[in-house]
Amino acid sequence: MQNKGGRQLASSLPATGKITRYKAGDTLISNIRPYFKKIWYAPFEGTCSGDVIVFRANDPSNAPYLHACLRQDSFFDYVMQGAKGTKMPRGDKKQMMEFKVASSCSTKDLILLDSAIKQRSDNDSETVKLQALRDTLLPKLMSGEIDVSKVDLTQLTNNHLAGRMHWSNVIRVRAIHAVHSQQSQIPAYESVPKVSHSPCRTALTLGGIAPLLSWLAVSQFTAQSFAMLVVFCQVVLCGVSSELS
């Protein structure tokens, strides 16, 4: 995926052409349109398209350092300088091997790099699982197959949606999305005056259902967005209004 977003599973195997086998610790880089910066550190062995270049450290212990060097924006800029083609430029493999980096890395730095890469790999795996959970639960929540009317958000921990629940004839939910407020694209409806303890407050009414669902469909699914989905279903299905504090 572009912008160093990891990998994407192939929906099917190619009928023709060659595939490349990679091992755990290898760094995979897409050679088509290098400016997309598609790079992935393999935590296990597998196969990839022939358009993907597999980099392998001569010393397996240096694999995290090699990945860190290739992950730099300066590497992709360097590859683009020697890329061939206009519509779908490809990197020059010979030129890539001439990219200059420090010849070694300290043991302490290697340990830190290895830890960071493993954490990112774990995060990517969790994201995939949560996205699959979203795709399974969302249709069931909207059809009413799953009832969330009795879910008490005040009992949930580590979320930013806990608040006082009460019944109201007005179908409205106010959601605080404090952590990802700057990155999220949640549409705002019926502007709510800002308050000191929740500057990212947004009011969502029935007029915002379609945009909200669109956001949930494409967002990086997290526990927070799931909590927002639960509140949304409470509002639509049960007429619950949550006044968050």
- Its domain, for residue 189, covers 147-243
Q: What is the pTM of this model?
A: 0.57
Q: What is the Cα 91 distance to its own chain's centre?
A: 26
Instruction: Judge contact between 221 and 127, C-beta under 8 A.
Output: yes
Q: What is the number of residues in the chain?
A: 245
For residue 62, what is the DSSP state? G
- Sign of the Cα torsion 43, 44, 48, 50 reads positive
Could you report the average pLDDT of every consecutive run of 10 residues in the chain (245 residues)?
Answer: 77 74 94 94 91 93 93 94 92 93 88 91 85 88 80 58 38 35 40 35 39 50 55 46 40
CA dihedral defined by 165, 167, 171, 174, rounded to 10 degrees? -20
Looking at the domain assignment, is residue 7 inside a domain? no
3-class DSSP state of 232: helix
Reference 90, options 47, 49, 52, 40; nearest CA is 52
For residue 16, what is the DSSP state? S
- Look up the CATH number of the domain holding residue 115: 3.90.220
Looking at the domain assignment, is residue 74 inside a domain? yes
**pLDDT value at position 97?**
93
**pLDDT value at position 94?**
93
Mark whether 178 and 103 lie in a shared domain.
no
Reference 202, options 167, 228, 223, 222; nearest CA is 228
Looking at the domain assignment, is residue 212 inside a domain? yes
Q: What is the number of structural domains in the chain?
A: 2
**pLDDT value at position 228?**
57
Mark whether 27 and 71 lie in a shared domain.
yes
**pLDDT value at position 86?**
86
Mark whether 52 and 103 lie in a shared domain.
yes
Instruction: Judge contact between 30 and 38, C-beta under 8 A.
Output: yes
Chain position carrying tokens 């469909």: 217
Task: Out of 90, 124, 158, pick the residue that ends a domain.
Answer: 124
Looking at the domain assignment, is residue 25 inside a domain? yes
CA distance 8 to 226: 23
Mark whether 115 and 168 lie in a shared domain.
no
CA distance 6 to 128: 11
Mark whether 152 and 68 lie in a shared domain.
no
Mark whether 102 and 36 lie in a shared domain.
yes
φ/ψ of residue 46, rounded to 5: 180, -160
Looking at the domain assignment, is residue 211 inside a domain? yes
C-beta atoms surrounding 127 within 10 Å: 15
Mark whether 120 and 202 lie in a shared domain.
no
